[in-house]
């Protein structure tokens, strides 16, 4: 009996990510969810700019490459023109939380019926490890060699907390993938985000706290530990908004 094999929706192309990068895990989780829901034929993915810019090579479903940060805007157009298709975007923190903040906030405010997978690794990975809007206070990066000074560079952007203040979005959850238990939890969250879209409930965003061993300057193992020690205290995991659950509670 096969206990585990590569999901069909994930292509055979070798991933270009650095050794130990958790992008690969999240790619696989998305592909597994597409397989389990049986939606490979009608799913359209929107690839971002950043480390995951070549995500279009890795999924077997149709993919579109968006301009930097504009994936939710492209997804809005695709979903409105093809309401029967399942549309997801896969974005990093430099894409979604920096140059694409406007698109993210407004697609959430409009409650567009799309699924957003947001990879937060607190650094700009592809361009060589510069400070990102999500870099932690005091975090050493290429452009903050003495640690991020909040008086000079401001505070990190907490996307889930920020969007949860809006009335629009249907579902917001922050998960991580630094252990087997957390990976299973992340898969549940991603599946719910896709199911919400199938049910026509609206905007679902899953923020995945990820590691960047290369640009954090650590081994893959140490990077996973760093997530527990530094990232999660600043970015607490959990469900930030679940409008269906709130509605159900209000009815009872």
Partner 1 sequence: MNKLTFRTDNCKGCGLCVDVCPKGVLALAEDIINKKGHHPVTAVKPDLCIACAFCATMCPDCIIEVEKGV
Binding residues for partner 1, rule: CB under 8 A, are 1-7, 10, 14-15, 17-25, 27-28, 179-180, 183-184, 213, 220-221, 224
Residue listed under structure tokens 């959990």:
238
Minimum CB distance to partner 1 smaller for 13 or for 150: 13
> Of 105, 124, 203, 207, which is closest to residue 160 (Cα–Cα)?
207
Minimum CB distance to partner 1 smaller for 23 or for 243: 23
Residue listed under structure tokens 């490459």:
65
Minimum CB distance to partner 1, residue 231 (Å): 17
- Residues making up the chain, counted from first to last: 252
Minimum CB distance to partner 1, residue 44 (Å): 22
Minimum CB distance to partner 1, residue 20 (Å): 4
Minimum CB distance to partner 1 smaller for 3 or for 81: 3
Output DSSP code: residue 57. Answer: G
Residue listed under structure tokens 């996973």:
224
Minimum CB distance to partner 1 smaller for 8 or for 80: 8
Minimum CB distance to partner 1, residue 166 (Å): 33
Name the H helices within 98-170: 101-109, 150-153, 159-164
Output DSSP code: residue 66. Answer: P
Output DSSP code: residue 33. Answer: H
């Amino acid at each position: 009996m096969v206990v585990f094999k590569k999901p069909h929706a994930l292509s055979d192309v070798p991933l270009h990510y650095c050794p130990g990068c958790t992008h690969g895990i999240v790619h696989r989780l998305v592909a597994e969810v597409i397989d389990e829901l049986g939606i490979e034929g009608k799913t359209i993915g929107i690839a971002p700019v950043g480390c995951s810019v070549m995500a279009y090579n890795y999924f077997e479903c149709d993919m579109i490459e968006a301009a930097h940060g504009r994936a939710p805007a492209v997804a809005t157009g695709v979903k409105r023109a093809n309401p029967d298709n399942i549309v997801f975007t896969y974005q990093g923190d430099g894409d979604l939380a920096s140059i694409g903040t406007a698109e993210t906030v407004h697609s959430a405010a409009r409650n567009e019926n799309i699924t957003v997978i947001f990879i937060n690794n607190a650094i700009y990975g592809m361009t060589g490890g510069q400070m990102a809007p999500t870099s932690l206070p005091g975090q050493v990066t290429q452009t903050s060699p003495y640690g991020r000074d909040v008086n000079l560079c401001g505070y990190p952007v907490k996307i889930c907390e920020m969007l949860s203040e809006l009335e629009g979005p249907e579902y917001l959850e922050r998960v991580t993938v630094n252990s087997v238990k957390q990976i299973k939890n992340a898969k549940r969250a991603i599946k719910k985000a896709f199911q919400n879209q199938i049910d026509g409930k609206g905007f679902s965003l899953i923020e995945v706290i990820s590691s960047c061993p290369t640009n954090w300057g650590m081994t893959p193992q140490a990077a996973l530990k760093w997530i527990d020690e530094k990232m999660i205290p600043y970015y607490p995991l959990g469900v930030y908004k679940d409008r269906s659950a709130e509605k159900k509670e209000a009815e009872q």
